[in-house]
Structure 1
């Protein structure tokens, strides 16, 4: 390990700054949620166009996250964190000043492209500056900042939009610019030159699906499948939650927003203050299996909730399970990634983004058949993930015993 890494071990400053950066990105993503339907109407667009604007963001993340991750293994973490924030800021300003649909699409393409530079690089940064024992806690803090950003974003967006629909995007652009400047001036580089992957050692650039196919046969392959299951489940849950509660309970946006706020805060507390302790006591593998079971239970009992209080309780159960699952999987992945933290975390983000694309599409289709099916199917997927995880753990232990024997 390089001298710079040793100096950063145990220091909280860089982790706090990274958490702030991810918080800003997720606020920028979250504040779009309540505004986008109204904003696209200014351009005489419909719900289909709005769906494409949402999808293109996740798709660009899917394409570019591994590229940024590999590049961070070559040139370091700090340049890409700063670049990601600058690019995201530019995208938000373009959206605010757009005078045509093409500018909205350009903005979302840039936001997805440059926003995807930050997440895998930040995760690799945490892997650089934390010991294996503290890595779960570090990932939990990052996850908490992301969860808090998603919770706070819609609230900020809705409030600012009361003054002007462009204000939320201007706010996100200014905040990302400030974060980029602070990162450039203050954030230390975590990945010393002597540890970096040289150009001739870098994997050749291949198609994204081919990279994912190769990754699936690697030691982290199964965990990347779990990342997809996790993000698919969360996107599946969130995509139709508003429609579900409106049709079944006749909730208005204020009631839906209150549920999202409360459950988001609960998830943030779990990721920031509890996940690290759970991993330290039980280990990542047990926490992952428990989280999958809890998420499945939350999916199913949501369809049985008879009142607002029970909707809040059942939704919270799902969010606690999902909030515990993300950092636990990330911690396991980082331990298997070796000196390819950036590349592997980039692939991690690609599987995450693919789930974010597939989840809403399938949820919307299933919702047209029956409003309960998306949640029941989500619970089924989580149970499949639980069974597969238990099989993976058993196989891993057998292999370890054979190698030790």
Structure 2
């Protein structure tokens, strides 16, 4: 990777890290903050779901905008929007202001992730693509690790302090990116995107892409996110019922998984993808998750839970970067932002419905069943991926895609 590209990737790493620190900072605080303003459990659920719902619809729109206008201005809009939304959170005095801040944050800050991934695609060749996506995943993972700890500390000072801190971080990164981040998309590529997608906002691609050659990858992204969210939404209740865990044990378990995933994504994912290809790494992630969900049911103490979580994190670390890398390699240069936004939409859709399904299964059938159900979903996707990846390999030809028995740089 050239020196200029390395600098750009480093800036993007910092951007994603700070953004996820900002998200993580509010996670331990927001439920209590909203509760003090009269929020019910349903209100809290809606408050958390609002961002994912908006992101589902708007991530491809921002991706399309970055194809037409360039990556840098869209990233800046997302960072500034992120900052403004958290400033409103900190100043909020009533529940409606929290929802207004969450909606504004969803509309504007949903620009950051798909555009950042498209920037990585612009500045890496196929050999370095998976590694670049992995580095962004590591930045997100590290932000999620450090954010809640910082938020808990600042929340002791003042309930609104974590929100002001997140707003200041985002604004600082925006100023830094404005000064030093180069534009990755050439004017010629932007003109081509404007010409080829003159009547498309990117929104319809959420639905039309399902009928295209990347349809299975989008379904895979949704189902994997959906099944993972079964764990995220119910794991605290499962661990309490199964092993009597409290907050301290839960924090340690998720920290272990976060550290393992961040290190794997930052140091190993690129090498794994270059050696075995995106398809195989996706299958490794699916298999590790399917087995891990079942193994949770036979854990008996904190070390056993941490061991299963670490093993899942190691296998799962390549799943999302591999999906993003595969989609990027199968997409024309002037559609990178749009299609990576569509992938992000289906990840968001899984995060909307996964916790709801997990909670219902937990309440109706018992604490073991969300994990049995999640494992079945992962095994189902794995079986379909083995059949489809081995039977048909997708190869781009000009602006169209065809099925071929040979893979373009996947193995």
Residue 110 of structure 2 aligns to a residue whose secondary structure is: helix
- Given the alignment of the two structures, is residue 105 of structure 1 paired with residue 109 of structure 2, yes or no? no
Distance change >3 Å, CA 307–CA 198, structure 1 → 2: closer
| TM-fit CA distance, 1:390 | 0.9
Residue 72 of structure 1 aligns to a residue whose secondary structure is: helix
Aligned residue pairs, count: 397
Q: Give the TM-score, by structure 1 length.
A: 0.94
Where do residues 28-177 of structure 1 align in structure 2 (5 Å cutoff)?
Answer: 28-177=22-171
1:80 and 1:207 map into 2 onto residues whose CA distance is 14
CA contact (8 A) 2:63 2:202 kept: no
Residue 249 of structure 2 aligns to a residue whose secondary structure is: helix
Where do residues 6-405 of structure 1 align in structure 2 (5 Å cutoff)?
Answer: 11-196=5-190, 197-202=192-197, 204-205=199-200, 208=203, 210-339=204-333, 340-369=335-364, 370-397=366-393, 399-401=403-405
| TM-fit CA distance, 1:167 | 1.0
1:11 and 1:401 map into 2 onto residues whose CA distance is 33
| TM-fit CA distance, 1:199 | 3.2
Distance change >3 Å, CA 203–CA 255, structure 1 → 2: farther
2:195 and 2:125 map into 1 onto residues whose CA distance is 29
Summarize deviations over 1:65-92 as a string: whole Å, max 9, x none.
0000001010000000011000000000
| TM-fit CA distance, 1:288 | 1.2
Distance change >3 Å, CA 206–CA 81, structure 1 → 2: closer
| TM-fit CA distance, 1:394 | 2.2
CA contact (8 A) 1:25 1:115 kept: no
1:318 and 1:362 map into 2 onto residues whose CA distance is 21
Summarize deviations over 1:301-346 as a string: whole Å, max 9, x none.
0111011111111122222232221111111110001121011011
| TM-fit CA distance, 1:232 | 1.6
1:60 and 1:138 map into 2 onto residues whose CA distance is 26
Summarize deviations over 1:368-390 as a string: whole Å, max 9, x none.
02111111111111111101111
| TM-fit CA distance, 1:402 | 8.8
Distance change >3 Å, CA 315–CA 131, structure 1 → 2: same
Residue 31 of structure 1 aligns to a residue whose secondary structure is: helix
Residue 133 of structure 1 aligns to a residue whose secondary structure is: helix
Distance change >3 Å, CA 193–CA 152, structure 1 → 2: same
CA contact (8 A) 1:58 1:356 kept: yes
Distance change >3 Å, CA 34–CA 292, structure 1 → 2: same
| TM-fit CA distance, 1:187 | 0.2
CA contact (8 A) 2:288 2:315 kept: yes
1:402 and 1:76 map into 2 onto residues whose CA distance is 33
2:407 and 2:75 map into 1 onto residues whose CA distance is 39
Structure 1 stretch displaced more, 75-84 or 198-207? 198-207
Summarize deviations over 1:190-232 as a string: whole Å, max 9, x none.
0010112353421634794x53221012222211112112222
Structure 1 stretch displaced more, 352-361 or 238-247? 238-247
CA RMSD of aligned residues (A): 1.9
1:262 and 1:78 map into 2 onto residues whose CA distance is 34
Unaligned runs of 5+ in 1: 1-6
1:175 and 1:56 map into 2 onto residues whose CA distance is 23
1:154 and 1:54 map into 2 onto residues whose CA distance is 16
